[in-house]
Structure 1
Amino acid sequence: MGQEQGTARTALLSYGMTALFTALLWREWERAAADSALSQGATVAALGVYLLGCASLPAAAPLLGRTARTAACALLLLLGCGLVAAVGPQHSWITMFALAACATALPLALSLGATALVLAGVGTAALATGRTEGQLGGLVVIASVSVAVALAVRLVEANAELRRGRDQAAQLAVLRERERFSRDLHDLLGHSLTTIVVKAGAGRRILEATGDTARAAAELRDLEDLGRRSLAEVREAVAGTRRVTLAGELLRAGAALAAADVELRVPGEVPSGGDEVLGYAVREAVTNVVRHAGAGRVEISTGPGWVEVRDDGRAGRVVPGNGLAGLERRLAERGGTLTLSPTPDGGLTLRAEVPVEESGGRP
């Protein structure tokens, strides 16, 4: 639909401009017909076909192949030069219509070459016949109109290309934002809901096994606090203001693993390098340990620009899901890497690294 509308607008503009210039030059057309070596009927017919072809070419060019466009331009130029030969070189302005039409259909270099060739031919014919009076001004007008149309067409094409680039950039920005939100929501809900399930299960087991309401109430209070924090994080994620830190994720890891009866060993001092992306790495690793590993102990090590999470669970065959894939993309955006490797005791080691110069968090 858009291409059809563009073609219709081009045709309307082309026919309108041709009609306007024909009307403005009506007296010149009459003089040219009077000077023609052809009969009046043949001259009128030739001029009608010529002007119709010049008006039609700009709209038809996008629908034609390169060879067809070149052939159509050659025919128009030959017809225009033939008319000039019939009416005399003093009417060389007639070629202006064909050159302007060709400027819309041919590449810039080819269009300028055709203009130079026509001007040279007209100038040679004027010198050969001795009709040089006023030819310089006519040739300047022809060249100016042809070059102006060619440059205007290229300007329109450049603007259209810029608009397409802008639209594509906007679409890409939307897709990236959707991907970011999807990753954030997955990382947030995957970890939070896993911890909520573990906490709820712990409270249920306490009540069923011992009937200790005080311990069960403590688990439920933790569950309530976690639910409130998760709700706040969802709101922050929607607003795009949520900030993940490595220190914060280590605290969350302790709560989630304790609820799953998994021992956690963490470093005494947490470096500030790579806070956000390394925080996501800890979150994803801990979520996977609670869900799948069946581990009894987790050890987290950190350093400038890296974090490593080791567990003693069941490594098996690692099948990367959305969480690991999203983490890998986050690291790649920072020039970092993600490594998964089995440990000697049967568990799994997840190591995330980012370049030290890029480890100060998001700019």
Structure 2
Amino acid sequence: MNGSRESWRHGARADALLAAGVGLFVVLTTVIGTDGLRPVPVLGWLLMLAACGALAFRSRFPVAVAVVALVASMIYYPAVNPDGALLITLIIALYSLASAGRTVAAAVIGGLAIAGSAFGEYGTDESPLGDAGMFLLVSWLSAAVAIGAFMHSTRREREEALRRRATEERLRIARELHDVLGHNISLINVQAGAALHALSRDGDDGPAAEALAAIKEISREALRELRGTLGVLRQVDEAAPTEPAPGLRRLPELAERSRAAGLAVDVSTDGEPVGLRPAVDLAAYRIVQEALTNATRHAGAGRVAVRIGYGRDDVTVDVSDDGRGAGPRAGDGSGIDGMRSRAEALGGTLDAADRPEGGFRVTARLPYGGPA
């Protein structure tokens, strides 16, 4: 709020300085002639004060300022002799109005100024401007509206780009939160369930069993709420991360956590490892993570084989399990869809299907140099 107030004060000071500068210029062009100082009638001083003073409020009341400048100019030029460059106040007011997004209002007021000038030029016996002067007048007023409209459009596009980048960054962070928490809470739920099952088999229904049952239920509810709140973000393409993020270097750690949950994980590498771009490295890691989570929670798998293949143009991520196939995962399609969206965002592909010998297989190919 303090920032907004300070910005408003800065804009008001800038408008006041502009009004003072334009006022000085208009006064000098009115008073100073080729033969020295020229006397200016009271009406001229009042109109100059009104038109130039109004510019101090151009940011807050652009329509009113443009109207004041138009009326002052339409009275000033026919009635005041000598005259000066008061038209500049109307040009600035039209630009300000159009740059504030009020292009239609600026065009209407500019059109009224042109129509009034055309009537004075061609509808009366006098011809104060001439054809060249009329052409310049139309050009100046039209240019003021056009440049103002262009500046407004450019500013809107820049602001939209900044908002879009901020939104993408927030979505990326939320997506990472969803992936990390979803995976770890899933492992907590599975481990609590396995321990509870062991205690029940041994006939132990004491406090430890109650605590494990509570952990299992709470983790299940937390996972449900997390996916309900953030799961939709898995469909959003992500930009390359701006901070250090997980990658394939942490694959052994990920495999070890899955082993602790009772899943046998074999990790192998084909080809000579290469340095991957952060976005590719992160996507490969997340695809393995999601595949392991699905195998743990939905497939009843006992063994998973993870193979990372470094080819000439791309890295291949292959995760195969011996679980129950695609059926149990159908209700949680956001996992496969999220993995596929990660791969496609980088110009790669992802295939997920049952294996002929049983189980399920996820294969992703991520190019080394796809979209950043």
Q: Establish whether TM, by shorter chain, passes 0.5.
A: yes
Cα 1:241–1:311 shift into 2, 3 Å = same
Cα 1:250–1:338 shift into 2, 3 Å = farther
Alignment equivalent of 1:24, drawn from 76, 80, 87: 76
Identify the residue that residue 257 of structure 2 maps to in structure 1. Answer: 255
Identify the residue that residue 104 of structure 2 maps to in structure 1. Answer: 62
Matched, 1:308 2:318: yes
Letter in 2 for 1:311: D
Identify the residue that residue 87 of structure 1 maps to in structure 2. Answer: 124
Contact 2:309–2:317 under 8 Å retained in 1: yes
**Structure 1 residue 81: Cα displacement:** 5.1
Contact 1:186–1:323 under 8 Å retained in 2: no
Alignment equivalent of 2:184, drawn from 163, 188, 192: 192
Q: Deviations over 1:241-262 (max 9, x none)?
A: 45211131343123314422x3
Contact 2:269–2:309 under 8 Å retained in 1: no
Matched, 1:357 2:360: no
Alignment equivalent of 1:172, drawn from 120, 140, 164: 164
Question: What is the CA–CA distance in structure 2 between the aligned matches of 1:338 and 1:242, rounded to whole Å?
Answer: 25
Identify the residue that residue 323 of structure 1 maps to in structure 2. Answer: 335
Question: What is the CA–CA distance in structure 2 between the aligned matches of 1:190 and 1:61, rounded to whole Å?
Answer: 50
Letter in 2 for 1:294: G
**Structure 1 residue 287: Cα displacement:** 0.3
For 1:350, what is the secondary structure of its paired residue? Answer: strand
Contact 1:337–1:353 under 8 Å retained in 2: yes
Q: Counterparts in 2 of 1:126-137, with a 5 A limit?
A: none
For 1:294, what is the secondary structure of its paired residue? Answer: coil
**Structure 1 residue 268: Cα displacement:** 5.4
For 2:127, what is the secondary structure of its paired residue? Answer: helix
Cα 1:174–1:144 shift into 2, 3 Å = same
Question: What is the CA–CA distance in structure 2 between the aligned matches of 1:275 and 1:12, rounded to whole Å?
Answer: 57
Letter in 2 for 1:288: N
Identity of aligned residues (%): 27
Cα 1:259–1:83 shift into 2, 3 Å = closer
Identify the residue that residue 248 of structure 2 maps to in structure 1. Answer: 246
Cα 1:268–1:301 shift into 2, 3 Å = closer
Q: Counterparts in 2 of 1:1-363, with a 5 A limit?
A: 9-27=61-79, 62=104, 77=115, 84-88=121-125, 90-93=126-129, 138-209=130-201, 241=243, 243-260=245-262, 262-267=263-268, 271-272=273-274, 273=276, 274-304=280-310, 305-317=315-327, 318-319=329-330, 321-358=333-370
**Structure 1 residue 264: Cα displacement:** 2.2
Question: What is the CA–CA distance in structure 2 between the aligned matches of 1:356 and 1:83, rounded to whole Å?
Answer: 70
For 2:358, what is the secondary structure of its paired residue? Answer: coil
Contact 1:265–1:299 under 8 Å retained in 2: yes
Question: What is the CA–CA distance in structure 2 between the aligned matches of 1:141 and 1:86, rounded to whole Å?
Answer: 16
Point out the structure with max Rg over C-alpha: 1
Cα 1:313–1:62 shift into 2, 3 Å = same
Cα 1:321–1:172 shift into 2, 3 Å = farther
For 2:319, what is the secondary structure of its paired residue? Answer: strand
For 1:299, what is the secondary structure of its paired residue? Answer: strand
Contact 1:253–1:282 under 8 Å retained in 2: no
Cα 1:248–1:282 shift into 2, 3 Å = same
Contact 1:183–1:326 under 8 Å retained in 2: no
Give the TM-score taking structure 1 as reference length.
Answer: 0.58
Q: Deviations over 1:180-222 (max 9, x none)?
A: 122111110111011112222333344444599xxx9xxx9xx
Letter in 2 for 1:316: A
Cα 1:22–1:314 shift into 2, 3 Å = same
Give 5+ residue unaligned stretches, structure 1: 1-5, 30-54, 94-137, 228-238
For 2:163, what is the secondary structure of its paired residue? Answer: helix
Give 5+ residue unaligned stretches, structure 2: 1-57, 82-93, 220-240
Q: Deviations over 1:5-41 (max 9, x none)?
A: x999453233212222234324479xxxxxxxxxxxx
Question: What is the CA–CA distance in structure 1 between the aligned matches of 2:336 and 2:177, rounded to whole Å?
Answer: 14
Question: What is the CA–CA distance in structure 2 between the aligned matches of 1:345 and 1:149, rounded to whole Å?
Answer: 78
Cα 1:323–1:341 shift into 2, 3 Å = closer
Contact 2:288–2:319 under 8 Å retained in 1: yes
Cα 1:22–1:356 shift into 2, 3 Å = closer
Question: What is the CA–CA distance in structure 2 between the aligned matches of 1:289 and 1:354, rounded to whole Å?
Answer: 22
Question: What is the CA–CA distance in structure 2 between the aligned matches of 1:167 and 1:85, rounded to whole Å?
Answer: 45
Letter in 2 for 1:178: R
Contact 1:315–1:346 under 8 Å retained in 2: yes
Greater Cα offset, 156-165 or 323-332: 323-332
For 2:191, what is the secondary structure of its paired residue? Answer: helix
Question: What is the CA–CA distance in structure 1 between the aligned matches of 2:135 and 2:199, rounded to whole Å?
Answer: 95
Question: What is the CA–CA distance in structure 2 between the aligned matches of 1:23 and 1:81, rounded to whole Å?
Answer: 15
Contact 2:103–2:149 under 8 Å retained in 1: no
**Structure 1 residue 351: Cα displacement:** 1.0
Cα 1:285–1:335 shift into 2, 3 Å = same
